[in-house]
Structure formats: C-alpha cells, structure tokens
Structure 1
Amino acid sequence: MVKKDAFRIKYYTRSVSGRLAFIFVGLLFIGLLIYITETVRSTLLEHNKRIMNSYARLWALAITEAVRGEELNIIFEEIIKKADFPIIQTDVDGEPIAWRNINVSPRDSAKIKRILKRMASQSTPIPVRSGEYGRTLGYIYFGESRFVSLLRYLPVGEFILLLLFLYLGFLEYERKKTRELQNIWLGMARESAHQLGTPISSLLGWVELLKNKINKPESGSQSDITCEKILAEMESDIQTLDTIVKRFGKIGSAPEIEMVNVNEVVSEAVKYFRKRIPTLYSKIEFLERYEEEHIIVPGNKLLIGWAVENLLKNSIEACDKGEGEIMVVTRTNSADNCANIIITDNGRGIPGGIQKKIFTPGFTTKKRGWGLGLSLAKRIVEEYHRGKLELLESKPYERTTFRISLPISWAE
C-alpha cells in the first residue's frame, strides 16, 4: 500500500540523517575547540605553577641569605616581576603579607581574603620552606591571568558564534525555500495558462467557424468543412481540457495506479505534437521505434503522458530554426526490470555547467520559460512512479538524450 503522504510537495528538504550528521559535525567541532582551549589553559596554569615554585625557592634562599644582592635582584626582575597573573604571599598562618597584579587597597583585607580563598580553590598553594631546616616560612597563592581567565569563556563565544552561523544559514535556507515556492506557484500558474490556452483558443476558433457556417453556409473555402468535422474537433479540444484539469488535480495527491501500456502513452504524446506543432517548428521530424509490441508498467496514464509531453516539448524548443529530428524509443531492460522511454534530439544541447541544475524548480535558460517542465517530469517519474529520469548525454547539434526508467513491477 502506497502512503498518501508520500505524494505531498516537498521543497529543498533535507533528510533526517543529513540533519543529524550536520548537528553531529557541529557538536564535534565545538567539542574539539573546548578540548584545545582547555589544553592551552592547563599548559599556561602549569607554567604559572613552575614560576611560583621558582619564586618560593628564591624567597627561601633570600631569607637564609644563600642568594644575595645583585643575583637575587636579577632573578626577581626577570622572573617574578614579569609574571602577569595574580600572586599573594602569606605567612604560616595564611595571613596575606604581600601581593602582585591585584588591584586592591592594602586596607581592604576582607577582599584580599576572598581573593585568597578563590585562589586556594583553583590551585594548591606553594609552601616556602627553609633549605636548612625544612621549616615552612609561608605560602604563595596564585591565580589565573586575565588571558587564561578569558580562555574559560572562549568555548561559550565559539558556541554562540556557531549558533549565529546556523541561524544565518537557516534564514538563507528559508529564503531559498520561499523563492522556490514562489517559482513553483508562478510556474504552475503560467503552465496552467499555457496548457489551457491552446485548446481554449482552438475552441474559440471552431466556435467562430461554426457561426460562419450557420450564418453563411456556402461561404467560400469553408464549404468543405462540415459541421460534423467541427463538432469532432471541438470534442477533441474539450477532452484535452478535461485531461489538463485531471493532470493538475493529481499533483500533490496519491494518483490512481493501474497497468499502463507505455507504447500507447508515448504514441499518443507524439501524435499530439505532430498535430499541434507550431508552424515555426514545422520542419521537425518525429521518429518512433517501439522495440516490443506491448510494454506494461504500473502507473498513472495521465501523469506518465504529461512527463513524456514535457520532454518532447523541451526537445522541440531545443531545435534551432525549427529544424531537426526527435527520436523516441521504448524498450525493456531486463537487467533493471524496468521499461525505458528514450527521447533524443539533435538540437542545441545543454551546456555542461548547468546540466546538474536543469531539474531544479524555477531554473531555466529560456527568455520566456519558467523552469517547471523538467522538474515536474522528474517529480512525476521518481516520486509518483518510483522510476528515474536522467540526462544521459548532451552534445550540441548532435544528440541530447533523456531517459525515463519505469519499474515493470512494484515491490510492496
């Protein structure tokens, strides 16, 4: 049983697996950035710790007078004073006695102790011990530099930036979706007007001819056209109108599937164009080859005929100066268990740079085109009949070949 939801119109939809893959890659990217950031941050903290260990040893040496004068000053100037992270020295009881890179008034002891407590939670204080007796003389507490602290928030900023890019991408996707939707409906409106216009114009002509026939029964060259002939042509045009209405009515809904004779559908489409081909293209020759007498596939006759007509129309318009050949072949492919409808013309062809775009709704290279014929044909073949429509080759003024493949049977 075919689900009706399968035939709803879709616009630039992405598969669920594609969306999940996109999200996974994004999360992986964020995770990698967080890992790199934390690695850099840990390395810098370890570097700070090594500097503080050196400072603790120097302090102990200075107290025991193992290092004096100029040597101690050089080490202090080159190592300690160049440190850009906050440092607090305390006595054995943990009372602050000196600090660097902390903008706090000496009188604000409460704030210093709060900062000291925070430093203790971030890293283990380094004890200063006397080299001679190993006695603890005090402690050195150190924290993160401003740069290292900012690294904590880098992943958050990166995540926000990624969300911003995703949002902008979503807006662009919605814009393309809206534009495509507009192209679809504009194209459908124009296609409807074009499809209805031909038989309606023909009917108006026959009505006018019938009026003249009734009012002036012996008027010149019209005397050889009988009323029966006029009525037959009008009935044919009315049937065409009915077919057009039914075709458009099937778009977006589950079509009625029956066994269809492919040769019959193709023959009727070729006959339709032979009879109604514009004078401008009167030198185009249609060639037909049916390699088997009967090729039966499950499908909807009206929709398959519509797809074939769109391809034939495309081939007719590709023939410059109204001259050329259009070859239509039907055959079965036992290897793929499908029926093939192959349409080849020797028109101007399709440039290689746009061959992947020709089935996109709204894409056209024609001045008066609306880019719906090929996309509609592809939708009919692939979404409604589980088949495939593809451009096999295109060599300008040699051959351009489209192939419709329809499965001979459907697996439920």
Structure 2
Amino acid sequence: MLFLFLFAILTGLGSLVYTRYLVGILKTEEREKVEQWAEATRLLILADSSQNIDFLYSIIETNNTIPVILTDEADSIISSGNFDEIHMPDPLYLRAQLEKIKKKNNPIVIDLGEDHANLIYYKDSIILTQLNYYPYVQMGIIVLFILVAYLAFSSSRKAESNQVWLSMSKETAHQLGTPTSSLAGWVEILQNKFPEVTLTKEIALDVERLEKITERFSRIGSKPVLNYENITAIISRTIAYIKSRTSSKIRFLPGFDDSKAVVVPVNAALFEWVIENVFKNAIDAMEGSGDIRINISETDKNVLIDISDTGKGIPKRAYKKIFNPGYTTKLRGWGLGLSLARRIVEEFHKGRIYVRNSEVEKGSCIRIIMNK
C-alpha cells in the first residue's frame, strides 16, 4: 500500500513538472505567433497599393486559437479575434475582456511611426489554459484513486479480522456448550440430593452465567434482537452479580432510583456484557479497593449512563486506544473487553461509549449513550 502511494505521488509530481515545462514552451511559441501577427498588422497598415498584401493577410488569418484585442494608444478597441462570437458585438464584453487580459500578459507594441503606436493584448489559448489545469486534475484523480484503494484495503483487512474473531467466538461457544450443559445437570442433581447446602445455589448461578456467556459468544456475527427493556433493572442485576464475586473493599454506589423504569431498545444479554466489562476494568484500575459510582440521566432522545471509579486514571492520549482490540495495561489480558463493549454499543445499538473524563491517580468516568 505504501509503495502504491509513493508511486502515485511520484507520478503526479513528475506529470506536474513536465506539464509546467510544456506550458512554458507553448507560452513562448504563442507569444512569438502574436508578435508575428503584430508585425503583419503593422506592415499591412503601412503598405501602399503597389505591395502584395496577400501574405500579410494569410499570417493574420492563421491565428484562430489565441484571443487578441487590438487597441490604439488611448486603449480604444480597434478590432478583436477569437472571443465568444455571441458576445463580441457587445462593447462592454470586449472592454471587460481587455481589462482581464491586461493582467495576464504584457502587450505587444506595433510601432506605426511618427510617435504613433497600436497595442495588441492577448491571453493564453484554450488549449494552453486547459494544459495549465491538467496536472491538478490528474493529481486529484490520483488522490481519489489512493483514497478508494486505501478504503478498499482497510475494509478488506477489517472484514478478514472480523471473520477471524467470528470463527473464534463460534468455536468458543461450541466448546463451552457441552461442559456447561453437563455442569447444569450435575448442579441439579446436587440440589436434589443436598437441598440444605446453600453453596449449590451459588454454583447454579455461576453455571447460569456460563450459559449466558456461551449464548453471547454464539450470537457474535448475528444481528441481535432489540427489545424495549428497563435498563435500570439490567444494571442492578449486573451490580448484584459482580458485587457478590468481588472484594468487599470495592463499593458499588448506584446514583439512580432502581424502582424507576428507564426503557430503551436493548439486547439485555449483550448489554449486561457491556456493563460487566466496564465494571471489571474499573475494578482492575482500582487494584481491588475503591468506589464505583453509577449514574443514569435522560434527555429527549437518549439515556446517559456514567460509570465512574476511583482508580489510577487514563492518560488523555489513551482515551481512544482503550477501546482498540488488544490494548491492555495488564500483564495477563487480551484487551478485548472494552473493544467488545464498544462494538455492542455502537454497532448493535447505534449508541456511543467513550471516556467522559479522567485524572491520573484520581479516577475515570466512562459514558454510555443509548438511544430511546
């Protein structure tokens, strides 16, 4: 890709330089033609009746590409050629063209003797003008080609990467399915044989969680079904589950009324995964001790969920990186949690997730925006 980019740039620059060289040559030739035209005009004016003026007329008539205006010393227009024939009878049109031409090229003086002279003003021919713009048009096409090629290449790489993750998730779901079903069966047997053992209830909850995780992995790559559900209930369930499996030094501080329903179109299983991943990252950032605050607010069109922690914070340069696949600050970690969270929120739910604010050694706030 880099080689293609460099080749295209060098081609464009080479074309630009060579075109400018050709423009310089043609510009010189056109001025020489106008000078010949001017000399023929001068001789024609000064010729007497005994001279053959056919040749002079032929020189004048050969100029059918370069726009010219012949004026006297007072800038009164005597004649013109190679302008728009429709507008040429209009003196205001020719006067406006004359003012424009004066800025383009120096006039050629026709010395008529006795301190009299005419002036020929001219501008570049249409071919020369188009040639001036050609390299820029070519550069634009090259840039457009590079952009299209880059987007196609990026799309191809992304599709390939997505296919790898999709295959891995499907295989993971398949491999988890059988032992999870087996565990569920053994837990049911234990509960029936030893109903007085409370530990079996916790084991049953963990097996149920494994089944949810298996379901999540199996859904990756498929379009999730969104249902209108109470998002406060989903967050409260996730807090209860994570809290029971986390150090008592981690305090969850909900800043919302869980009795108030906030309904949005959501896939509950996938959204729980989002909240879990944000919580787990917050817990890692606090190194096992600190506060996690959860606030929910509403606007006319959105629900805003802010999850704040008292951890080590995120450097500003890493605000976007933390959502990239593979980005992690842990020695043991795949860096997929927040990447999956972003994909679930932004691709599946058409919402947003980002770092709202963060201070190093003070904590961070992750904001999730869901559409109503």
- CA deviation after TM superposition for structure 1 residue 205, in Å: 8.9
1:92 to 53, 69, 79: 53
2:39 to 33, 55, 75: 55
1:324 to 280, 289, 299: 289
Aligned counterpart, 2:9: none
- CA deviation after TM superposition for structure 1 residue 289, in Å: 1.9
1:308 to 258, 275, 278: 275
In 2, Cα distance between the equivalents of 1:199 and 1:288? 35
- Percent identity, aligned pairs only, is 21
Q: Pick closer, same or farther for the CA change 1:191–1:352 going to 2, 3 Å.
A: farther
Name the amino acid aligned to 2:261.
I
1:246 to 190, 215, 219: 215
Aligned counterpart, 2:238: 269
Structure 1 unmatched ranges of 5 or more: 1-38, 65-90, 100-115, 133-141, 214-224
2:65 to 122, 128, 137: 122
**Is the Cα contact below 8 Å between 2:292 and 2:310 reproduced in 1?**
no
- CA deviation after TM superposition for structure 1 residue 288, in Å: 2.7
**Is the Cα contact below 8 Å between 2:292 and 2:309 reproduced in 1?**
yes
**What is the TM-score normalised by the length of structure 2?**
0.58
- CA deviation after TM superposition for structure 1 residue 208, in Å: 10
Name the amino acid aligned to 1:327.
I
Q: Pick closer, same or farther for the CA change 1:235–1:381 going to 2, 3 Å.
A: same
- CA deviation after TM superposition for structure 1 residue 357, in Å: 4.2
Name the amino acid aligned to 1:306.
W
Greater mean alpha carbon deviation, residues 190-199 or residues 383-392: 190-199
**Is the Cα contact below 8 Å between 1:331 and 1:341 reproduced in 2?**
yes
Name the amino acid aligned to 1:354.
A
In 2, Cα distance between the equivalents of 1:352 and 1:324? 23
Higher relative contact order (CA 8 A, sep 6+): 1
**What is the TM-score normalised by the length of structure 1?**
0.53
Aligned counterpart, 2:19: none
Aligned counterpart, 2:261: 295
In 1, Cα distance between the equivalents of 2:152 and 2:313? 33
Name the amino acid aligned to 1:269.
T
Aligned counterpart, 1:351: 315
**Is the Cα contact below 8 Å between 2:232 and 2:261 reproduced in 1?**
yes
Aligned counterpart, 1:29: none
Name the amino acid aligned to 1:356.
K
Size of the alignment, in residue pairs? 295
- CA deviation after TM superposition for structure 1 residue 400, in Å: 0.3
RMSD between superposed Cα atoms in Å: 5.2
1:362 aligned counterpart, secondary structure: coil
Aligned counterpart, 2:306: 342
Deviations 1:198-235 (A, max 9, x none): 99888999999999x9xxxxxxxxxxx88966765564
Name the amino acid aligned to 1:323.
G
In 2, Cα distance between the equivalents of 1:195 and 1:396? 38
Q: Pick closer, same or farther for the CA change 1:229–1:187 going to 2, 3 Å.
A: farther
**Is the Cα contact below 8 Å between 2:44 and 2:53 reproduced in 1?**
no
In 1, Cα distance between the equivalents of 2:130 and 2:307? 64
**Is the Cα contact below 8 Å between 1:346 and 1:396 reproduced in 2?**
no
Q: Pick closer, same or farther for the CA change 1:254–1:340 going to 2, 3 Å.
A: same
1:122 aligned counterpart, secondary structure: coil
Q: Pick closer, same or farther for the CA change 1:350–1:201 going to 2, 3 Å.
A: farther
Structure 2 unmatched ranges of 5 or more: 1-22, 71-78, 80-109, 114-121
In 1, Cα distance between the equivalents of 2:328 and 2:245? 24
Q: Pick closer, same or farther for the CA change 1:58–1:368 going to 2, 3 Å.
A: farther
- CA deviation after TM superposition for structure 1 residue 243, in Å: 1.8
